[in-house]
Amino acid sequence: MKIIADIDIPDLEIFFGSNDHLQCISGREITSDLVRDADILLVRSVTKVDRPLLENSDIKFVGSATAGIDHIDINYLRTRGIHFSYAPGCNANAVVQYVFSVLCRLRENWRELCVGIIGCGNIGGRLYRTLKALKVKTVVYDPYLNETLVPDLNSLEKALNCDVISLHTPFTDGGTYPTSGLIDEQRIKILAPGSLLINTGRGGIIDSHALLDRLLKKNDINVALDVWDSEPNIDVALAQKADIATGHIAGNSFEGKRRAVAILRRSYQKWRRNELVDCNRTKRAFKTICVKDAINTINAIILSAYDVQKDDLGFRAAVLSDKNVSEAFDRYRRNYYGRYEFADYQVTHAGRFGNDLKVLGFTDPGPLSTKSV
């Protein structure tokens, strides 16, 4: 079997056997000529997988190490009988933790606010359950769900009227409830002054021109954006006006990447019906956060584990100041350090924060080896 894979997918060696040939290449450089005589294609979100790419190829299996699939032409794969696998939910923990880091940076009193969640699937659902367990008021909009599943379900307008609005829908431009331009000019106009808009879904969900117009004319709302229209050729002016700007890395955790690969591998093994090379698992060494005194708060603990402001500053320096924004954006993502999720941190002397930290996913102190952070 010949395998073509995005070079930025980790642990690729677990995908091939002794008779397989693996060729790794940058995701944006995967072309129809390259995949023509390949059997397996493994991609990330930067590679558009459709008829122009695969029409003259021998591809039999496509795997995407992503939670979203708007870069995949599913209908075309079906017509060709090409097996497809992806990794829904692989990055849910990381994205939810990104949102909490944004809240800690831009709304220190987030526990007293109302959070509107638009899209309540793998990621939005996890955010919803976490906020509910922390007794934070929530309003949810998701036209595919009902109140039996989500008691706080309400209209889109109600969700947009919250103190914080967090977007977690896929990008779709067809069907009964398309999300392309969902947060359009009119809906941007009705956002309450002082509200915070967070987008970790897809850039095309928001009318970026209308959002920039409001920020330029009124500058009365806060914005945290991780995803952008026309990536990697992003709107620099909008990024400069955003309070938090990052380069599509909200779900880019060390664990999330490997979780995605593990999901794809299981599907690949089932499809091939044979044994592949064993996957060597790295032993985890927990990092320690010590609650020393009353000054430490939940916010401080969250930011000790992951501070989104560091990513914001890194993004501005690496991408927004570069003359070639597209290349800089891809380079930023490719070189992103891959942060660790809360489960990799043990909080000692947690005291009154103990239950809340468990809800957020932090690990109880144990006998395993640690290192301080």
Give the number of other CB atoms < 10 A from CB of residue 274. 7
- The DSSP element (H or E) to which 166 belongs, if any, is strand 164-167
51 assigned to active site? no
231 assigned to active site? yes
Residue of 168, 248, 258, 339 with catalytic role:
248
Token pair, residue 182, equals 């969902």
Residue of 44, 126, 168, 231 with catalytic role:
231
Amino acid of residue 159: A
For residues 14 and 360, give the distance between their C-alpha atoms in angstroms, rounded to a whole number: 31
For residues 289 and 68, give the distance between their C-alpha atoms in angstroms, rounded to a whole number: 33
341 assigned to active site? no
Token pair, residue 135, equals 């007794």
Task: Supply the DSSP symbol for 49.
Answer: B
Residue of 202, 214, 258, 339 with catalytic role:
202
Place of tokens 């060709």: 80
Token pair, residue 264, equals 């794809």
Alpha-helical segments (H) within the chain: 32-35, 51-54, 74-80, 92-106, 122-133, 156-160, 185-189, 208-217, 236-241, 254-272, 298-305, 308-315, 325-334, 354-360
Give the number of other CB atoms < 10 A from CB of residue 42. 25
Buried b (16+ CB within 10 A) or exposed e, 343-358: bbbbbeebeebeebbe
Token pair, residue 133, equals 């367990």
Residues marked as catalytic: 202, 231, 248
